[in-house]
């Protein structure tokens, strides 16, 4: 895949006819001498090295030249290190939280939306630390190469959370913990289980293995009802979503990759990306929607550059080990949902 993307770009580079002929003759001669048994016996080690070294120099030279000739290849060259850095480092919100705690600030939590990170400070330290935390966070983001993420400092309000639980008991984490604890005691594998709690109207959705739903659904319902009575949750709707263990294992392998793509792509203002999403249920599909219409003259060029960046990142040796033999596809659409690739 990596070779195909680079080959397409190399084919698009304009090379003077005379130089192109000399390069091609060189490749043909190298291929001939390296493949024919009668000639291969006559080639000494030094010459063999020089033949392959020359081919490598030609390729590297063309790649470097293409970063000036082709905007798409220039984009690949500049973004690959950023993808790798984010993949190894983890989400910027998490690393920022760790950094602030290491600096001695009383941080209670953080949340992140597309271009905003909210940091909650201990109420006792809020007045004294608010300004310094904001400055320290902004400096850290600049050091990491982010200049378009807004930092918002908030006062941690534990009382508000407690009040919400009383008002919406379906969100009581002790209730959820009790469900999963009792399921484990009953022999269920809850390693990949998750849930979604909606407060108004109250609804609890359990995400469980397909086999458990098909063979032990009534047992799970009984466990949930008992936990609800224990914590006085009141009336609510119980629903289920299922998964296979293969799907969940694939989802876990792709989690950091998708997080990396999301963070890097959404913070490249020149690409005008409106949203990024993914599906890993069967095959892996990556969705990118631009914030410009299909009729914009730059839309298809931008889509091509984004697609090449993603392919290049996913074709790297380290990422290949993670995605294994998973098939993936990339769908890029315009603001008005017209397909661009």
Q: What is the pLDDT of residues 205-256, one digit of tens each?
A: 999 999 999 999 999 999 999 999 999 999 999 999 999 988 888 998 999 9
Question: What is the model's pLDDT at position 42?
Answer: 44
The predicted-structure confidence for 29-44, as pLDDT tens digits, reads as follows 544 444 444 444 444 5
DSSP character at residue 296: S
Query: How far apart are the C-alpha atoms of 176 and 234, rounded to whole Å?
Result: 14
Question: What is the model's pLDDT at position 5?
Answer: 52
The pLDDT confidence band at residue 69, using thresholds 50, 70 and 90, is very low
CATH of domain 163-243: 3.30.300
Residue 91 to residues 84, 96, 117, 257, 270: CA-CA distances in angstroms? 12, 9, 11, 10, 21
pLDDT at 289 over 80: yes
The predicted-structure confidence for 149-180, as pLDDT tens digits, reads as follows 899 999 887 655 555 667 788 888 899 999 99
Query: How far apart are the C-alpha atoms of 170 and 152, rounded to whole Å?
Result: 29
Query: How far apart are the C-alpha atoms of 323 and 314, rounded to whole Å?
Result: 8
CATH class of 248-333: alpha beta
- Nearest CA among 156, 161, 239, 230 for reference residue 197: 239
Strands 202-209 and 237-243: parallel
- What are the extents of the domains in the chain? 2-69, 91-156, 163-243, 248-333
Topology annotation, domain 91-156: Alpha-Beta Plaits (3.30.70)
Residue 327 to residues 145, 151, 212, 243: CA-CA distances in angstroms? 31, 38, 28, 19
Tokens of 4: 């195909």
Give the sign of the dihedral formed by CA 162, CA 166, CA 172, CA 178: positive
- Residue in this structure with the two tokens 């600049």, named with its chain if needed: 142
163-243 with 248-333: one CATH topology? yes
pLDDT at 301 over 50: yes
Query: How far apart are the C-alpha atoms of 69 and 238, rounded to whole Å?
Result: 58
């Amino acid at each position: 895949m990596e070779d195909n993307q680079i080959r397409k770009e190399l084919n698009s580079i304009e090379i003077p006819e005379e130089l192109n002929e000399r390069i091609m003759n060189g490749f043909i001669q190298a291929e001939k001498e390296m493949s024919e048994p009668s000639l291969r016996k006559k080639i000494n080690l030094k010459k063999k090295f020089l033949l392959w070294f020359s081919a490598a120099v030609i390729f590297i030279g063309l790649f470097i030249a293409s970063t000036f000739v082709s905007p798409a290849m220039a984009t690949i060259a500049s973004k690959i290190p950023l993808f790798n850095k984010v993949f190894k480092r983890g989400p910027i919100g998490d690393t920022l939280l760790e950094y602030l705690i290491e600096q001695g600030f009383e941080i209670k939590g953080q949340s992140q939306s597309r271009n905003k990170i909210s940091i909650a400070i201990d109420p006792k330290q809020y007045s004294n630390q608010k300004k310094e935390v904001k400055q320290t966070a902004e400096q850290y983001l600049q050091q990491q190469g982010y200049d378009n993420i807004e930092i918002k400092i908030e006062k941690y309000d534990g009382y508000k959370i407690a009040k919400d639980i009383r008002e919406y008991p379906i969100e009581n984490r002790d209730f959820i913990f009790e469900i999963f604890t009792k399921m484990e005691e009953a022999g269920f594998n809850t390693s990949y289980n998750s849930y979604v709690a909606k407060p108004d109207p109250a609804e609890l959705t359990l995400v469980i293995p397909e086999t458990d739903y098909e063979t032990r659904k009534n047992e799970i319902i009984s466990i949930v009802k008992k936990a609800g009575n224990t914590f006085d949750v009141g009336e609510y709707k119980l629903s289920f979503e299922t998964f296979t263990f293969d799907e969940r294992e694939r989802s876990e392998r792709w989690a950091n990759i998708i997080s990396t793509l999301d963070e890097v792509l959404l913070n490249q203002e020149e690409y005008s990306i409106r949203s990024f999403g993914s599906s890993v249920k069967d095959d892996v599909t990556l969705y990118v929607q631009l914030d410009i219409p299909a009729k914009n003259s730059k839309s298809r060029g931008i889509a091509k550059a984004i697609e090449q960046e993603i392919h290049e990142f996913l074709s790297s040796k380290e990422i290949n080990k993670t995605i294994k033999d998973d098939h993936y596809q990339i769908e890029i659409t315009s603001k008005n949902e017209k397909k661009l690739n």
